Amino acid sequence: DIDSSFLQCFSLALKNSTSTSKVIHTQNSSSYTPLLQFSQRNHRFLNSSVPKPNLIVTPNELFQIQTTIICSKKQGLQIRVRSGGHDYEGLSYVSNVPFLIIDLTNLRSITIDIKEENAWIQSGATLGELYYAIANKSNVHGFPAGSCPTVGIGGHFSGGGFGTIFRKYGLASDNVIDAQIVDVNGKILNRKMMGENLFWAIRGGGGSSFGVITAWKVKLVNVPSVVTVFNIPKSLEQNATTLFMKWQIIANKLPNELFLHSVMGLDAKSSSDGGKTVAVSFTGLYLGKQKNLVPLMENNFAELNLQHDNCTEMCWIQSVLYFAGYSINGSLKVLLQRNKTSTSFKAKSDYVTKPIPMSGLEGLWNMLLEEKNPTLIMSPYGGRMSEISESETPFPHRNGIIYGIQYLVDWDSNEETPKHMDWIRKLYAYMTPYVSMCPRLAYMNYRDLDIGVNRENTSYEEAKSWGMKYFKSNFERLAQVKNEIDPSNFFRHEQSIPPLSA
């Protein structure tokens, strides 16, 4: 069968130089299920009915990846590459055709060069491991990437990657200066060898269409030794609507050093009727001291009434702990934990280019009250993001975006899945008049299969239905690069870039 043919091909190619059983896990191996579930972040895909990989490969060396690609091609097995397993739709570990997973968990070394202010990071490392490694060497260097420490470098960097200092420094992918990829022919290429087209494509176009990206070289950025954090939650009764209206006007125009996002959810009502109310938390990170932040907020957003009491000064790595939900005085080692308890969830994204009117917000509050645990995260753009052109990388959401929205709902039991999926789709439909249109934009790293999927042999024209939403007109160049690097469309999935022939 396909599995034993693959195994034979693999051991033959490697001339038994590696113990295959340590690297290849078949459905009969005791390591298979724990490995499969280890970084499976969305429990929606833990159901037994979800298709499972024939094999899981956990390479320790690049030649094992080269061999896996060559043998998979021979045997007609598709490949799913997994770094941190946080794909919202499980595309790094679920497929409807026979497939194997290349799980990069063993390829996670990080080499920091403080003198040169750069780092080489293998794709299987997590953001937490990267932040930890930087903090071990310097308290005035950082890296602009996401807030959740368990997110994997491989998926995150190849799809963009934003966090609390992106208004100052751009996306993770904007700070990549070299990379290493194993291509469809099993060749290992660095930036110089892959050429600027492919190097462009993997910085925001998603890695999974182009090969297995094994490592990234990035520029580290400078952070001040003192940063300031604050969080001010306001319920509707405490004027959240008016504050949010003002936030929409100023959030993308604040100095680049100030990131102020707003998070909407439900809160127990402070009154005694036991009900819930909508609450909006205004949470900020300022790259500087509170003595400068407080007057800055007074000038730009006096209505929020930020006081010194609301502020906590800390070093940058403590702000990483803070935004990850950890105690800022605890050990940094929590950043190294790779698997965290998780739930089933569905998320979607939007971009806002003109403030949502009050009437729109009122309807939104009603929709939030229909759900048990809804969260909306509104991330302000502007700053450095507006300075980078839309075509500089495949990530096109630059000048003109006020803020991005992430809609998120999670639940415990998969029996409830349809109910929550219905709710979030209804919410998305409700938001249509208030967000970007033609195309309605979306963030690739918040993968959403509702916006469109490939079928067998989907053409470039058909794939534009979802491709333009993630990439705008960069989608065409992505499809051209795909044609150069993988014309037979070996690396493919529900939202992979189709090859566009000349």
Catalytic residues: 446
Give the residue from 79, 70, 99 showing the smallest Cα distance to 9. 70
Q: DSSP assignment, residue 371?
A: S
Applying CB under 6 A, the site for ligand FDA has a residue count of: 33
Q: Tell which one of 64, 66, 147, 262 touches ligand FDA (CB under 6 A).
A: 147
What letter represents residue 356's amino acid? I
How far apart CA 431 and CA 420 sit, in angstroms, is: 17
Question: Is there a contact between 337 and 330 (Cβ–Cβ < 8 Å)?
Answer: no
Q: Tell me: does residue 151 bind ligand FDA (CB under 6 A).
A: yes
The enclosing H or E element of 243 equals helix 240-250
Only segment of 5-13, 24-32, 149-157, 479-487 that touches ligand FDA (CB under 6 A) = 149-157
Looking at 43, 80, 234, 346, which residue binds ligand FDA (CB under 6 A)? 80
Sole residue written with tokens 């930036």: 191
Q: CB-wise, 371 or 448, nearer to ligand FDA?
A: 448
Q: Is 41 in the site for ligand FDA (CB under 6 A)?
A: yes
- Per rule CB under 6 A, is residue 59 in the interface with ligand FDA? no
Which of 59, 144, 149, 161 lies at the binding interface for ligand FDA (CB under 6 A)? 161
Site string for ligand FDA, 180-209 (x = CB under 6 A): ---------------------------xx-
**DSSP for 199-221, written as a single string:** HHHTTTS-STTT-EEEEEEEE-E
* Contacts (CB under 6 A) with ligand FDA, residues 81-140: 81-88, 91-92, 104, 123
> Looking at beta carbons only, is 81 or 134 nearer to ligand FDA?
81
Min separation Cβ 454 and ligand FDA, Å? 13
**Beta bridge partners of residue 279, listed in sequence order:** 235, 265
Nearest in space to 405 (alpha carbons), one of 239, 233, 263, 204:
263
Query: By CB under 6 A, is residue 155 in contact with ligand FDA?
Result: yes
207 vs 355, beta carbon nearer ligand FDA: 207
> What is the C-alpha separation between 243 and 265, in angstroms, rounded?
15
Q: Which helix (H) or strand (E) holds 31?
A: none
List the structure tokens of 453.
Answer: 């999927």
Q: Is the dihedral of CA 90, 92, 98, 103 positive or negative?
A: negative
Does 497 interact with ligand FDA (rule: CB under 6 A)?
A: no
| Min CB(72)–ligand FDA separation in Å | 14
> Binding to ligand FDA by residue 148, rule CB under 6 A?
yes
Q: Is 322 in the site for ligand FDA (CB under 6 A)?
A: no
Among 6, 162, 282, 322, binds ligand FDA (CB under 6 A): 162
Give me the phi and psi of 205, to 5 degrees please.
Answer: -90, 5
Q: Which stretch binds ligand FDA (CB under 6 A): 78-86, 192-200, 224-232, 299-307?
A: 78-86
Choose the binding region for ligand FDA from 144-152, 186-194, 309-317, 388-396 (rule: CB under 6 A): 144-152
- Tell how strand 227-235 and strand 118-122 pair up: unpaired
Q: Where are the beta strands (DSSP E) in 63-109?
A: 78-82, 99-103
From the list 27, 15, 43, 13, the residue with the least C-alpha distance to 342 is: 43
Using the structure block, give the residue that is written with the tokens 């001291």.
Answer: 289
Q: Which residues bind ligand FDA (CB under 6 A)?
A: 41, 80-88, 91-92, 104, 123, 146-148, 151-152, 154-156, 158-163, 207-208, 212-213, 445
